[in-house]
Chain A
Amino acid sequence: MAARAGACPLTQRELIEGFFMEHRAQIIDIAAYLDRLDRSVERDAENDFRFLAVRKAMRELSSEEPGRVERILMHLSDPVVELMDTRDRQNAFGAFPGPEKQS
């Protein structure tokens, strides 16, 4: 079969034989993290923007459309290209908290 532009040089079979186990471990770790959140001693962050962003990202994982990484990164990004008047903090959170929590 001729290689497509942008193609990974490995076949699907090779990608499964060579890389399945490490990704199996990763997805089980995510499941365990979600279970741990459910088992936490206090459910005090059900609506935390990071938790909600993870849930949204997981929906993207089950998409049949290519481009999942880019879409997840955009789900996690501040989509509005506007300058802040002054710096509120130095560090990023990893997910966009929404404009109401920016300051």
Chain B
Amino acid sequence: MKYIDVHAHMTSRTTDDYYQMALTGCVAMADPAFWSGYDHSSPEVFADYFERLTDFEPKRAAKYGLRYYTWLGMNPKEAEDRGMSREVLKIIPEFLDRPNVLGLGEIGVNRVTRNEVATFEEHAQLALDHGQMIHIHTPHLEDKYKGTQVIIDALAEETRIRPERVLVDHVEEHTIRLALDRGYWAGITLYPMTKTSHARAVDMLEMYGTERILVAGACDWGPSDPIAMPKFVLEMRRRGHPEEEIHRIVYENPIEFLKQSPRFEIPKELTPLPNPPPQGGRGQDPWTDQV
């Protein structure tokens, strides 16, 4: 079954993972700006990161016929550093016109501090000033409930927000209604240890329906699975859900949300690029690069 993974940190994954995703029906993915596992040391490093997200990665994905989109921002894990965040916010507009940029994300809060909220609000302002969509990260584990509430309250203060252009991601059973009731899209990420198992994702769809809900693999550098989506499809089938409903969740819903960005194109049939790849841009040839 064709699917679109709306949250996949491919910069953390190997080329073999692109291959696995293509083999299992993936046609496109979106990679929101992420935390590397340690804090960046300067704003210039973010510029390099954004360059990778908008130039190198799309080419690497294209080798397998995959469309690669991205969101830009300073991940909430680093949002406590106000000085750094202000510098990064100055860099982001340089990249917003790149052809695979969908908007600002993943932005939000982590430990739910005053500085994190201020950084989040400035990112949201930047998105609105530039007519961009927003992808929101909600915090982990015990911080999720209060962080989601704080984010929703902060968004409510901004009259320019169009909820249908905002994805509130990493929802679980205790936060999904907070997103849906305000008209936002709710994202369920398949990260069994710290977020949601495949079975619980199906539970939430059974309880809340398929409208304005996205499911994603959210693979990154931690314990995660680049082919979580086809496993979710299998779980839906095991639970007796019809193919058209599954297709809606893993393909049509992502298109309905993402096509609100003028840069998103509905994926065509898989057409891997020939080897060698087109020249240009920075970095090694993603098809033949050597360690």
Interface residues of A (CB under 8 A from B): 6-10, 14, 18, 69-70, 73-74, 76-96
Contact = CB atoms under 8 A, between A and B. Distances in A.
A56 to B, nearest CB: 13
A6 B172 CA distance: 16
A73 B239 contact: no
Given A9-B239, A70-B173, A79 B113 contact: no
Interface string B228-243: 0000000000111100
Contacts, number: 89
Contact of B206 (A6, A69, A79): A6
Interface string B110-149: 1111111100000000000000000000011111111001
Given A69-B173, A84-B113, 14 more contacts: A6-B206, A6-B208, A70-B173, A73-B145, A73-B174, A76-B142, A77-B146, A80-B146, A81-B145, A83-B112, A86-B80, A91-B140, A92-B111, A92-B140
Contacts of B60: none
A83 B241 contact: no
B52 interface: no
B141 A93 contact: yes
B150 interface: yes
B165 interface: no
A84 B194 CA distance: 22
A87 B200 contact: no
A77 B143 CA distance: 6
Contacts of B174: 70, 73-74, 77
B77 interface: yes
B113 A85 contact: yes
Given A10-B240, A83-B113, A90-B111, A76 B141 contact: yes
A73 B141 CA distance: 8
Q: Is the interface of A mostly helix, strand, loop or mixed?
A: loop
Given A74-B174, A87-B116, A95-B142, A8 B110 contact: no
A87 B146 contact: no
B110, B141, B142, B241 — most chain A CB neighbours (10 Å): B142
Q: Is the interface of B mostly helix, strand, loop or mixed?
A: helix
B145 A78 contact: yes
B143 A92 contact: yes
A82 B113 contact: no
A33 to B, nearest CB: 15
B207 interface: yes
Contacts of A85: 113-114
Contact of A90 (B110, B114, B206, B240): B110
B206 A78 contact: no
Contact of A78 (B77, B80, B146): B146
A77 B113 contact: no
Contacts of B115: 86-87
B204 to A, nearest CB: 9
B150 A84 contact: no
A7 B206 contact: yes
24 contacts: A6-B207, A7-B206, A8-B206, A10-B239, A10-B240, A69-B200, A69-B203, A70-B173, A73-B145, A73-B172, A74-B174, A77-B142, A77-B143, A78-B142, A78-B143, A78-B145, A79-B145, A81-B146, A83-B112, A83-B114, A87-B80, A87-B116, A92-B140, A94-B142
A97 B245 CA distance: 41
B142 A83 contact: no
A83 B117 contact: yes
Nearest to B176: A70
Top 5 A-B residue pairs of the complex, sorted by shortest distance between their CB atoms: A92-B141, A9-B240, A77-B145, A73-B174, A87-B80
